[in-house]
Amino acid sequence: MKISIIGAGSMFTRHLTVDILSIEGLDDGVFALVDIDPKRLELAHKLVEMVIAKFGKNWKVISSTNRREVIADSDFVINQIEVAGLDTVRMEYGIPLKYGVKQCIGDTMGPGGLFKTLRTLPAWLDIVRDIEELAPNTTILNYTNPMSAITLATTRVTEVPIVGLCHSVQGTSRKLADMLGVPYEELKWECAGINHMAWFTTLEHQGRDMYPVLKEKMKDPEFLALDPVRLDAMLYLGYFVTESSGHFSEYIPYYRKRQDLIDQHCGTGYEGETGFYATQWPTWRANTDQDIQDLISGKKEISLKRSYEYAALIIEAMAKNEPTVIYGNVKNTGLIENLPQDGIVEVACMINRNGINPCYFGRLPEQLAALNRSNMSFFELSVEAVLQKDRDMAMRALMMDPLTAAVCSLSEIKEMFDELYEAEKDYIPELY
């Protein structure tokens, strides 16, 4: 077994390697670590060696800043790259703010999501070309945002199988069980849509529909404050969505177009705070690097508890042919009938020795599908703008963004795009 991790300097590497080494019977293998930052790569290498030693398994670690030296013949390639994010996050928040676009996270949709796509896709597609050449029989497990854009672009340029993996389905389903006060194992649910905007179309406990229970509970202001945007949207749209209130508020036109609406519906932090990501991320990055150093020095203890991330479940199911179900982002081949075909959807997937087998869902309630389609149009234009090197198409992607369109005129969107493009010209390849 050989598993390559691209962008290995992330703290996420520790969790993934713990999960993978927790697989019973998977006692031999190689982790190939890649990162363009040699210092962070060295820390990741040491940390993974420590995790292996704690498990006592016969795995080894190789690492390089040159991916071509280490990724050949990988069984799985895990993507978790970040392209110039620290250098650009304040621009991608501050410039749109001048035009009235108040982002909370800004890494998937909106001005921030668009320019992250323009920065990330060219670097990622170069990596994909190396994967095709050196590890053509691999399976790509993508964790990098914008999830839908990265996955969509990959399906447009290669036949190498890819699945986009997020935390929102498994995290939100557990949160719903807590909010409802029922054991997670007893909560029956079905979920489908797109990444960060999939919908729990079934939510039952022992045959009882739990949506009326949620609606009754949210009459309590303290309960509503637990997840203010998602609960309010559920009241009107009928269903609970997978992504946090802060992220979700950016993907639709209803909650962030006026300050009074932000004050009424959005909380602090991930619940919708304006500028949350831009102001906090530099500190998070510094804290992550310090945490890794503390783990290596022994100042902090490495936890060997397995998480509920999907990567290890996929690897285990394929390697041992023990079928399991995950929720993954895959090409829509008729899986959700009323969403664009060949776009990327998030649905249940059966995993076995044959790989990733997406499951047919059917039709979403139309009001949910309509919101999904608005986001999918943005991803389609932004991805094709990169593939076709078309600056006007990139600008028009921003015109399709629901929040930006709710706040700005077309001329204002063009002005904002041009200002962002000029500010980030050193970080993105030129579009013509």
To which residue do tokens 């904002």 refer? 416
**Is 15 tagged catalytic?**
no
SS3 326: strand
CA–CA separation, 164 and 174 (whole Å): 20
- Show the beta-strand stretches assigned E in 238-380: 240-241, 324-331, 344-352, 355-358
Any residues with CB less than 8 A from the CB of 74 and at least 6 apart, and which? 2, 3, 4, 32, 131, 134, 135, 138
CA–CA separation, 73 and 375 (whole Å): 36
Residue 122: is the preceding peptide bond cis (ω within 30°)? no
Q: Which is catalytic among the residues 15, 167, 196, 247?
A: 167
Residues β-bridged to residue 141: 78, 163
CA–CA separation, 72 and 67 (whole Å): 9
Q: How many CA atoms lie within 13 A of 426 on its CB side?
A: 6
Q: Are 175 and 200 in contact (CB under 8 A)?
A: no
> Taking Cα atoms as reference points, which of 292, 300, 294, 319 lies closest to residue 20?
319
Angle at alpha carbon of residue 278, lines to 10 and 283, rounded to 5°: 50
Active-site residue numbers? 167
